[in-house]
């Protein structure tokens, strides 16, 4: 091919599609109270996100903002490259291609299952309606439920119908606010993977907000961790677990504890339970004081070990025990043990570190990971 330079050439960047959803530094406020503060995140077409955080941290406000029920005081929201929310105005919720499911199932009690699902597609051709209803009932394993009324369904069945109803118009994005929180553990275990499967097969992107991180991990390709209106991290589940960006995320996700450590040499740290090699990517200096994050699977129980900790709490988890032990240094950590190692509260047990990757928080610069 001859080498020509075209002034109209399209650069590779401009050929890539914009993300399905793009939040730039978006904030929401109720009167004097800022409920969501400077949240930036993006979601690609077909991706599922989950935002986890304690009650009151702003999750529902963020969902309502994405759905178009709240006007931001700062920042912007775009879908497919078009801005749909700024402080100057918002595109109406019904014109966003966004569906929403809430914690409390709000099926219409006087309508049967088919009529409930039909609600959002009532303007479609009747044949298409019937086909879509059948398709969704099959996907959610609810064939033959068409004529049933909500009062005759279990909580899990009602929740599946509510999801089917929200998915019926094929929204580009489905927002779920604590949609699984009212279910018991067993129903949740069944339903969450099913919903993931259906969303993927229907190619519907989704965001779930939940205070239950296990639900987030089971459902999502991307996880966000929120606290007091701020989104600390928006990342893959693995990175959220193994590379938490700050102390809050480290502690909130997966039973992490933090232990003091001192830098002994270029690659060695000393802690209350011995010395450890680490990758000194952060140019820490000898004598620096840091905190390191430990997960339960970083510490194993070992009767032979000289490192001892006193059992303060134990939880039987079937295949293993999770022990909470206090070191002589007064520091706490969690440790896993095979379930035949049944020790009692107050007993000193041996522990051995099994740390593959040390996550370090520098004490000098406060919150953030080095
Ligand atoms: P979450 O869903 O994480 O529990 P919310 O988004 O519901 O959090 O609430 C975030 C903060 O905003 C809370 O402090 C809450 O009390 C406050 N808030 C929520 N809704 C309103 C409202 N309609 N008016 C005033 N304050 C509100
Ligand atoms: Mg909420």
For residue 58, report the distance from its CA to the centre of ligand 1, in Å: 6
pLDDT computed for residue 364 by the predictor: 62
- Tell me: the pLDDT tens digits for 219-246? 999 999 999 999 999 999 999 998 899 9
pLDDT band at 133 (very low <50, low <70, confident <90, very high): very high
More confidently predicted of 235 and 361: 235
For residue 18, report the distance from its CA to the centre of ligand 2, in Å: 29
Residue whose CA is at the smallest distance from ligand 1 atom 5 = 58
pLDDT computed for residue 3 by the predictor: 40
Q: Residue 278 above 90 pLDDT?
A: no
- Ligand 1 atom with the shortest distance to the CA of 62: 6
- Tell me if 232 sits within 8 A of 240, measured CB to CB: no
Mean pLDDT computed over 182-203:
90
User: Residues with Cβ within 6 A of ligand 1?
Assistant: 30, 33, 35, 53, 55-61
Mean pLDDT computed over 48-58:
96
pLDDT computed for residue 2 by the predictor: 39
- Ligand 1 atom with the shortest distance to the CA of 229: 10
pLDDT computed for residue 83 by the predictor: 97
pLDDT band at 34 (very low <50, low <70, confident <90, very high): very high
Residue whose CA is at the smallest distance from ligand 1 atom 13 = 56
Q: Residue 8 above 70 pLDDT?
A: no
The CATH label, of 3.40.50.300, 3.40.980.10, 3.40.50.150, 3.10.580.10, for the domain at 21-248 is: 3.40.50.300
Locate the domains of the chain by residue range: 21-248, 257-362
Convert 315-353 to b/e letters by CB count within 10 Å (16 or more is b).
eeeeebbebbbebeeebbbbbbbeeeeebeeeeebbbbb
pLDDT band at 182 (very low <50, low <70, confident <90, very high): confident
The CATH label, of 3.40.50.1580, 2.40.50.140, 2.130.10.10, 3.40.30.10, for the domain at 257-362 is: 2.40.50.140
Percent of the chain with pLDDT over 70: 94
> Is residue 110 classed exposed, middle or buried when 0-12, 13-18 and 19+ CB atoms within 10 A define those classes?
exposed
pLDDT computed for residue 346 by the predictor: 97
User: Which 3 state secondary structure label does DSSP give 211?
Assistant: coil
257-362 has the same fold as 21-248: no
- Tell me: the pLDDT tens digits for 318-352? 889 999 999 999 999 999 999 899 999 999 999 99
For residue 56, report the distance from its CA to the centre of ligand 2, in Å: 7
- Ligand 1 atom with the shortest distance to the CA of 63: 6
Residue whose CA is at the smallest distance from ligand 1 atom 23 = 30
């Amino acid at each position: 091919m001859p080498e020509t330079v075209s002034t109209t050439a399209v650069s590779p960047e401009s050929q890539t599609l914009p993300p399905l959803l793009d939040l730039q530094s978006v904030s929401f406020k109720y009167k004097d109270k800022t409920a969501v503060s400077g949240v930036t995140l993006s979601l690609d077409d077909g991706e599922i996100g989950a935002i986890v955080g304690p009650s009151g941290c702003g999750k529902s406000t963020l969902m309502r903002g994405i759905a178009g029920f709240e006007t931001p005081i700062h920042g912007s929201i775009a879908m497919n490259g078009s801005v749909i929310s700024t402080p100057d105005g918002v595109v109406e919720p019904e014109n966003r291609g966004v569906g929403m499911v809430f914690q409390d199932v709000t099926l219409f009690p006087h309508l049967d299952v088919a009529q409930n699902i039909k609600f959002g597609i009532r303007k479609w051709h009747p044949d298409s309606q019937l086909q879509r209803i059948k398709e969704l009932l099959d996907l959610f394993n609810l064939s033959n439920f068409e004529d049933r009324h909500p009062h005759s369904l279990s909580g899990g069945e009602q929740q599946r119908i509510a999801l089917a109803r929200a998915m019926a118009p094929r929204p580009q994005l489905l927002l779920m606010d604590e949609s699984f929180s009212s279910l018991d553990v067993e129903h949740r275990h069944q339903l969450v993977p099913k919903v993931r499967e259906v969303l993927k097969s229907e190619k519907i992107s989704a965001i779930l907000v939940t205070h239950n991180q296990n639900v987030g991990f089971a459902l999502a390709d991307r996880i966000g961790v929120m606290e007091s209106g701020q989104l600390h991290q928006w990342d893959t589940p693995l990175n959220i677990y193994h590379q938490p960006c700050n102390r809050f995320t480290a502690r909130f996700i997966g039973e992490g504890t933090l232990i003091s450590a001192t830098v002994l040499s270029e690659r060695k740290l000393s802690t209350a339970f011995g010395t450890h090699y680490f990758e000194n990517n952060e140019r820490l200096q000898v004598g620096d004081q840091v905190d390191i994050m430990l997960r339960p699977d970083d510490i194993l129980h070992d009767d032979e070990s000289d490192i001892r900790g006193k059992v303060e709490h134990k939880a039987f988890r079937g295949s293993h025990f999770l022990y909470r032990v206090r070191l002589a240094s007064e520091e706490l950590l969690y440790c896993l043990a095979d379930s035949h190692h049944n020790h009692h509260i107050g007993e000193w047990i041996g522990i051995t570190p099994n740390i593959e990757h040390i996550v370090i928080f520098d004490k000098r610069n406060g919150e953030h990971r080095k």
